[in-house]
Amino acid sequence: MSKIMDGREISNTILNRIKKDILDKIDKGLRRPSLAVIYVGNDKGSLAYIKMIKRKSEKIGIDCNIHKFHSDITEEKLLNEMDKLNKDSLVDGILLQLPLPKKFNHNLIISNINPNKDVDGVHYSNAGKLYQGDEVIIPCTPKGIMRLLEEYKVEIESKNVVVIGRSNILGKPISMLMLNRNATVTMCHSKTKNLRNVTMNADVIISCVGKVRLIEKDMVKEGSIIIDAGINDVDGKIVGDVNYDEVEQKASLITPVPGGVGPMTIAMLLENVMEGYSKNGTKTI
């Protein structure tokens, strides 16, 4: 029987620490940290995530302002609005909620985030630094996965790690973080043949593709570590990429969905806001 990696408990500890830090700063006459969320369109999943961010932020004392724009906003207007937030000295972090509507040049919009306020590490300068081994701003979900592994005392060096999914905000950065810690990394994706042959040799499997029951019991070896970062809505219930009930019987450690990686993502986001706050200058009220 595996040990469940409890993201809720660890994230609550992190958030309580941040809350105490903010209260200490306010007692000293310093301002609150501030997060700006840019949201374009009307994607229900994105909206639910943003509402959760706002609720968690304000619970611990971070001002969270949602800048919602209709999907018919022009690219020029959106860039102008972003520029205002980039220059606002009271904004410590900017989160661009992705994906954007298809009409936008995603690369252009991302490149216009102030790198110092880029709390999800998507700007090219921050991504480039990560690939050079300089972990300045780490994307929130990969950072949350690494923190979970640290909390459960998982030694990464020399492990065979299989990452399933190659997105710019999860698959690629988590692969780089693992390489930076001397793991042997295999990245799989939709064109990978014989996925089971790859996963059966993995000490750690990280799945982040959003495909129900992608990972079954016969695809993992005894004692492996399973990180499920997939999000799927099945009849109103959120499930991951892993057939949890079966795979749990073979894994030594496993993340549940929900309650595993998800809470860590928001905790790392708010931790990144605090890092931006420190760099930006904690001006007095």
Is the whole model's pTM more than 0.85, yes or no?
A: yes
Does residue 272 lie within any of the structural domains?
no
What φ, ψ does residue 239 adopt, rounded to 5°?
-130, 165
Q: How many CB atoms lie within 10 A of CB 158?
A: 10
Query: Looking at the structure, do residues 82 and 169 belong to the same domain, yes or no?
Result: no
Instruction: Please give the DSSP secondary-structure letter assigned to residue 120.
Output: T
Does residue 13 lie within any of the structural domains?
no
To the nearest 10°, the Cα dihedral for 135, 176, 156, 263? 70
* pLDDT on residue 2: 73
Does residue 229 lie within any of the structural domains?
yes
Q: How far apart are CA 164 and CA 151, in angstroms?
A: 23
Q: How far apart are CA 9 and CA 46, in angstroms?
A: 24
> Which residues on adjacent β-strands are paired with residue 224?
none
- Residue 113: helix, strand or coil by DSSP? coil
CATH number at residue 253: 3.40.50.720
Query: Looking at the structure, do residues 90 and 185 belong to the same domain, yes or no?
Result: no
Residue whose structure tokens are 């990464």 = 156
Query: Looking at the structure, do residues 42 and 99 belong to the same domain, yes or no?
Result: yes
What is the DSSP pairing of strand 253-254 with strand 184-188? unpaired
Give yes or no for a contact between 223 and 3, defined as CB atoms under 8 angstroms apart.
no
Does residue 216 lie within any of the structural domains?
yes
Q: How far apart are CA 8 and CA 10, in angstroms?
A: 6
Query: Looking at the structure, do residues 99 and 145 belong to the same domain, yes or no?
Result: no
What distances in angstroms separate CA 259 from CA 148, 182, 227, one per listed residue? 12, 28, 12
* pLDDT on residue 1: 60
Does residue 24 lie within any of the structural domains?
no
Query: Looking at the structure, do residues 90 and 170 belong to the same domain, yes or no?
Result: no
Does residue 68 lie within any of the structural domains?
yes
CATH number at residue 109: 3.40.50.10860
**Could you list the pLDDT tens digit for every one of the 285 residues in the chain?**
679 999 999 999 999 999 999 999 999 999 999 999 999 999 888 888 999 999 999 999 999 999 999 999 999 999 999 999 999 999 999 999 998 999 999 999 999 999 999 999 999 999 999 999 999 999 999 999 999 999 999 999 999 999 999 999 999 999 999 999 999 999 999 999 999 999 999 999 999 999 999 999 999 999 999 999 999 989 989 999 999 999 999 999 999 999 999 999 999 999 999 999 998 876 655
Q: What is the largest CA-CA distance in the chain?
A: 59
Query: Looking at the structure, do residues 99 and 153 belong to the same domain, yes or no?
Result: no
Does residue 135 lie within any of the structural domains?
no
Query: Looking at the structure, do residues 156 and 242 belong to the same domain, yes or no?
Result: yes
Segment 10-24, tens digit of pLDDT: 999 999 999 999 999
What distances in angstroms separate CA 94 from CA 117, 162, 218, one per listed residue? 5, 31, 42
Could you give the number of structural domains in the chain? Answer: 2
CA-CA-CA-CA torsion sign (23, 25, 31, 36): negative
Boundaries of domain holding 226: 140-261
